[in-house]
A and B are shown apart, each in its own frame.
Chain A
Amino acid sequence: MSLYNQNCTSNAASLPSFQINPMSSVLTLNGITKFYGSIRALNNVSFEVPQGSVFGILGPNGSGKTTLLSIVLDVLKANNGSFLWFGQPGSPEQRRKIGSLLETPNFYHYLSAVDNLKITNSISGRGNDADIDRILKKVKLYERRKSRFKSYSLGMKQRLAIAAALLGSPKVLVLDEPTNGLDPVGIAEIRELIVELRNSGHTIIMASHLLDEVEKVCTHAAILKTGELVTIGQVEEILMDEDVVEISAADLNALETVLKQLGGTVNIVGNTVQLILPKGTARLEDINSFCFNKGIVLNHLLLKKKRLEARFFELTN
């Protein structure tokens, strides 16, 4: 069974049994369960993050995204289950190789950006003084590098947290809501940065509730709902759970009648007819020739992708 493109139900018992191959994965989660008192924040969550992927963890507020990342970064202890980084149980040595931003930018308020990054460097061993300057230029904080953290705006604080995660150019990044507090320009810059990192072979694990952001940059995604893993797979596959074909011709009613012969669901939506078929079964050439043979000439034929937003609502509601 392939690990990816698994649609899971919210019933823990029916979760698919994943074939885990830790050697090829950056991160492997195995049945992670976490309780806050009597509240179950995560229930038996298992998946793998492949090397080189931009892996989005999606879910509404309170779905367990940050809890999950906190567990793999040893900030929280799981009640059950285990995780492996690079095929090994989590350890401080491994965390030093990972650039992480968890929940909020956590820095010493009385220190400047440079002094805070020196602490990051001192603990993690990532980067050096030259790298600190380079990374501050990259996140556009260089001009304010000597100002105290407490004088920064929310966006600047977030940029510093991203700078700390990028220090020393770690091959793996864990970013929890990386665009929090950023203005539209800042969001676009971070998106470009993530794409740039992806293209240079970095693995990025990113929690977000901004679906547009995930759709644009992620290669893979896992969707959580109240602590349950609802689905996991490549973003393209998650989006295309069924084939939606948008078709148009001069006579829409005649087109609708003809298309009904193909099976599937047929609806007139505006100036087009929408044909919904089981995933992977829509062949545009066949549809075109079928309609032509029935005397209908098509003036529009398109296999549509569902927006992640629509898919997300389907899965989490």
Chain B
Amino acid sequence: MMTSLLKTEWLKLKKYWAFWLMTGIVALTYPGINYMMYTEAYKNNLNDKTMGPILRMIPNPFTFPDVWHTVSFISSFFLFLPAIVVIMFITNEYSYKTHRQNVIDGWSRNQFLLAKMIDVFIMSLVVTILYVIVAFILGNVNRGTKEVNVFSNTRYIGLFFLLNFSQLSIAFLIAFLVRKAFIALGLFVFYFFPLEPLLVALGRERANDAGRYLPLEISDRMIPIPRMFIAGDKEWESLVSQSNLHIVYSIILTTVIWTICFWVNKKRNL
């Protein structure tokens, strides 16, 4: 059954130029933004009179094993790009009314949604693969003579995938409930930035950091700010321990999101 769902989804996407355009934009943005951060924020500052001595004191965040963490953190800011692709491929079904036709032609309602869940999974996988390629290349470019374990920090590959799947599922939920492309895009992008960051900041200042339980922040905190920005070991350990807790929260949130989707899809008129 999964193969059949995958085959059908592939038939829908393979000649959809907007999908390839957006995927192309994602494929260019991720290496681009990471390279920019590497050159502008790190490499070019190494010889800066003020920043240079500080940067030279800390391990290079763009070499192994830290590069897995750094690149995943930077890339997570640009997740709204694959989210646009996810929103497009679900709202298309509603604007073309093909969500009905797929069921009329013989899918169950659950199969239709499962096919969409596979799309979100694959999109998360594609973005993760892109991140792995970017991190691997940057890590190798900066690899010195010192022997390092290339794969020692690769837990961030898993975390980045989970972050993708969790946040793209939120984008999917909005699009699935709203059904209209522009409204869904507007809502998601507005929530992604500036609404949730604002609420998180407010929560941090006034509500005992309650913003950490907001939908995107839950998974964002799986990948803490890179080690180079953290002064003390104690603070770093606290962030890592929070990250472990947020892995569980993210899994719970993503499960809840898909449970809502399947429940609503079963009950509502198509």
Partner-B contacts on A (CB < 8 A): 73-77, 91-93, 95-96, 100, 102, 104, 106-111, 115, 118-120, 122-125, 164
List B contacts of A73 (CB < 8 A): 103-104
List B contacts of A75 (CB < 8 A): 100, 103-104, 269-270
Assess whether B12 is in contact with A119, with CB atoms less than 8 Å apart. yes
Assess whether B101 is in contact with A107, with CB atoms less than 8 Å apart. yes
Assess whether A100 is in contact with B105, with CB atoms less than 8 Å apart. yes
Interface assignment of B8: CB less than 8 Å from any CB of chain A: yes
The closest CB in chain B to the CB of A123 belongs to B105
Given contacts A95-B105, A100-B104, A110-B16, contact A122 B11 (CB under 8 A): yes
Q: List residues of B (73-100) whose CB comes within 8 Å of A's CBs.
A: 92, 96-98, 100
Assess whether A76 is in contact with B17, with CB atoms less than 8 Å apart. no
Interface string of B210-240 (1 = CB under 8 A from A): 0000000000000000000000000000000
List B contacts of A115 (CB < 8 A): 11, 15
Apart from A77-B269, A92-B106, A120-B105, list 14 A-B contacts with CB within 8 A: A93-B106, A95-B104, A95-B106, A106-B96, A107-B101, A108-B98, A110-B15, A110-B16, A111-B15, A115-B11, A122-B11, A123-B106, A125-B106, A164-B105
Assess whether A102 is in contact with B8, with CB atoms less than 8 Å apart. no
What is the CA–CA distance of A107 and B96 in the complex, to the nearest angstrom? 6
| Min C-beta distance of B102 to chain A, whole Å | 6
The closest CB in chain B to the CB of A119 belongs to B11
Q: Counting chain B CB atoms within 10 Å of each CB, which of A100, A110, A164 scores highest?
A: A110
List B contacts of A102 (CB < 8 A): 100-101, 104
| Min C-beta distance of B152 to chain A, whole Å | 44
List A contacts of B121 (CB < 8 A): none
Q: Which of A76, A109, A118, A124 contacts B106 (CB 8 A)?
A: A124
Assess whether A96 is in contact with B105, with CB atoms less than 8 Å apart. yes
List A contacts of B111 (CB < 8 A): 92
What is the CA–CA distance of A93 and B105 in the complex, to the nearest angstrom? 10
Interface assignment of B107: CB less than 8 Å from any CB of chain A: yes
Q: List 26 A-B pairs, Cβ < 8 Å.
A: A74-B103, A74-B109, A74-B270, A75-B269, A76-B269, A77-B269, A92-B106, A95-B104, A95-B106, A96-B105, A104-B97, A106-B98, A107-B96, A107-B101, A108-B16, A109-B96, A110-B17, A119-B8, A119-B11, A120-B101, A120-B105, A122-B7, A122-B11, A123-B8, A123-B106, A164-B105
Partner-A contacts on B (CB < 8 A): 4, 7-8, 11-12, 15-18, 92, 96-98, 100-109, 111, 267, 269-270
Assess whether B98 is in contact with A107, with CB atoms less than 8 Å apart. yes
What is the CA–CA distance of A209 and B111 in the complex, to the nearest angstrom? 34
What is the CA–CA distance of A164 and B104 in the complex, to the nearest angstrom? 11
What is the CA–CA distance of A100 and B104 in the complex, to the nearest angstrom? 7
Assess whether B104 is in contact with A122, with CB atoms less than 8 Å apart. no
| Min C-beta distance of A111 to chain B, whole Å | 6
Assess whether B100 is in contact with A92, with CB atoms less than 8 Å apart. no
List A contacts of B17 (CB < 8 A): 110
| Min C-beta distance of A103 to chain B, whole Å | 8
What is the CA–CA distance of A92 and B110 in the complex, to the nearest angstrom? 11
List A contacts of B104 (CB < 8 A): 73-75, 95, 100, 102
What is the CA–CA distance of A99 and B92 in the complex, to the nearest angstrom? 23
| Min C-beta distance of B20 to chain A, whole Å | 11
Given contacts A95-B105, A104-B97, A122-B4, contact A76 B15 (CB under 8 A): no
